[in-house]
């Protein structure tokens, strides 16, 4: 019989940590050991933060963002431009745009992208809610900030078709050369998209 180095409580901690994205069993073991060694400094505050998250975190009923209030802080912020809605697949994308201070608008989180292979259809996403919001007279622009993947772009086309009778301008993120990028290193698809999306200088 193989010997178990740690008690069942520690094994359980390792198993739970191993479920986190980006952590395999080996790094979960390392993370568990780190937490145990830093029990007062890291583990206890982490446990408290997790408990607070369980009790307080809610999904915004308007945009789908995650916050401790519903509607979320973005939806209730009067300084936000309510005339533009940035459509993202996931809360992680919303956070990325906020970190970049890219735009001071409101958001709509779809909850994923259409993916027939994975069985994700329109009913699995919050597309209906988006179409309703787009028909609000105060909304003038829908910005599709979706991944430049086949699923992301087919989702963008699907939404654009549904918005044809809403009185909004539909835009999408530019595709092309990343900031600091060198042309020689780009793949052909990105270069071709950059040429097609060229802008006046
Ligand atoms: Zn919200």
The pLDDT tens digits of the residues spanning 128-146 come to: 999 999 999 999 999 999 9
pLDDT class for 6, splitting at 50, 70, 90?
confident
pLDDT value of position 4: 60
Kindly report, residue by residue over 181-195, the tens digit of the pLDDT. Answer: 999 999 999 999 999
pLDDT value of position 1: 47
The span from the CA of 4 to the CA of 33, in Å, is 15
Query: In the chain, which residues fall in CATH 3.40.1360.10?
Result: 66-172
* Residues forming a β-bridge with 67: 58
Sequence length of the chain is 201
pLDDT value of position 102: 87
Q: What is the CA(201)–ligand 1 centre distance, in A?
A: 36
Q: 66-172 in CATH: which number?
A: 3.40.1360.10
Residue 58, helix vs strand vs coil: strand
Q: What is the CA(108)–ligand 1 centre distance, in A?
A: 8
Kindly report, residue by residue over 21-45, the tens digit of the pLDDT. Answer: 999 899 999 999 999 999 999 999 9
Kindly report, residue by residue over 77-114, the tens digit of the pLDDT. Answer: 999 999 999 999 999 999 999 999 989 999 999 999 99
Q: What is the CA(118)–ligand 1 centre distance, in A?
A: 27
Q: What is the mean pLDDT of residues 4-24?
A: 89
Question: Per residue in 120-158, is it b (16+ CB within 10 Å) or e — as a string?
Answer: beeeebbbebbeebbeeeebeebbbbbbeeebbbebbee
pLDDT value of position 27: 95
Q: What rounded mean pLDDT belongs to the chain?
A: 93
The span from the CA of 65 to the CA of 93, in Å, is 10
pTM: 0.83
Q: 8-56 in CATH: which number?
A: 1.10.8.420
Could you tell me what percent of the chain has a pLDDT over 90?
88
pLDDT at 124 over 60: yes
Q: What is the mean pLDDT of residues 2-29?
A: 88
Residues with CB under 5 A from ligand 1 (ion): 60, 62-63, 65, 71-72, 75
The span from the CA of 32 to the CA of 145, in Å, is 37
Query: In the chain, which residues fall in CATH 1.10.8.420?
Result: 8-56
């Amino acid at each position: 019989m193989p010997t178990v180095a740690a008690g069942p409580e520690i094994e359980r901690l390792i198993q739970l940590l191993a479920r986190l994205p980006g952590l395999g069993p080996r790094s979960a073991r390392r993370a568990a050991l780190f937490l145990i060694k830093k029990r007062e400094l890291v583990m206890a505050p982490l446990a408290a933060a997790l408990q607070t998250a369980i009790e307080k975190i809610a999904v915004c009923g308007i945009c789908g963002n995650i916050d401790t209030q519903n509607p979320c802080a973005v939806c209730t912020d009067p300084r936000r431009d309510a005339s533009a809605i940035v459509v993202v697949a996931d809360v992680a994308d919303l956070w990325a745009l906020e970190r970049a201070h890219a735009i001071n608008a409101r958001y709509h989180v779809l909850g994923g992208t259409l993916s027939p292979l994975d069985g994700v259809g329109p009913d699995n996403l919050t597309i209906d809610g988006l179409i309703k919001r787009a028909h609000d007279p105060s909304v003038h622009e829908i910005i599709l900030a979706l991944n430049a993947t086949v699923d992301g772009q087919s989702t963008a086309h699907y939404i654009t078709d549904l918005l044809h009778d809403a009185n909004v301008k539909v835009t999408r993120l530019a595709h092309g050369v990343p900031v600091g990028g060198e042309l020689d290193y780009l793949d052909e698809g990105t270069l071709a998209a950059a040429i097609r999306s060229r802008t006046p200088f």
